[in-house]
Amino acid sequence: MGWRFRKSIDILGLFRINFSKSGVGFSWGVPGYRVTKMANGRTRKTVSIPGTGVSHVSETGKNKKSEAPRSITAKKKK
């Protein structure tokens, strides 16, 4: 298991700036509903019932599975 890093700064309780190894993201919301723009460009929406541990998360944006794999091109011989 590798090392992870994450730090958040709350601003007025509604807005949060998130720092992680992959970059900076931000989120806003109230208890029970939060929208997060992650460092990788994806957007996550979380709806929950506070105090119960029950929540639903949906993500939109870039999808790693649909990205074409990077190919290594050989140098052309002259």
Contacts of 45 (CB under 8 A, 6+ apart): 33, 34, 35, 36, 57, 58, 59, 60
Minimal CA–CA distance to 61: which of 47, 40, 34, 32? Answer: 40
| Mean pLDDT, range 58-69, rounded to an integer | 68
* pLDDT tops 70 at residue 39: yes
Rounded Cα distance, 5 and 24, in Å: 12
pTM of the model: 0.65
Residue, of 62 and 59, whose pLDDT is higher: 59
DSSP-derived letter for residue 64 is G
- Note whether 37 and 55 are within 8 A (CB): no
Three-state DSSP at 18 gives: strand
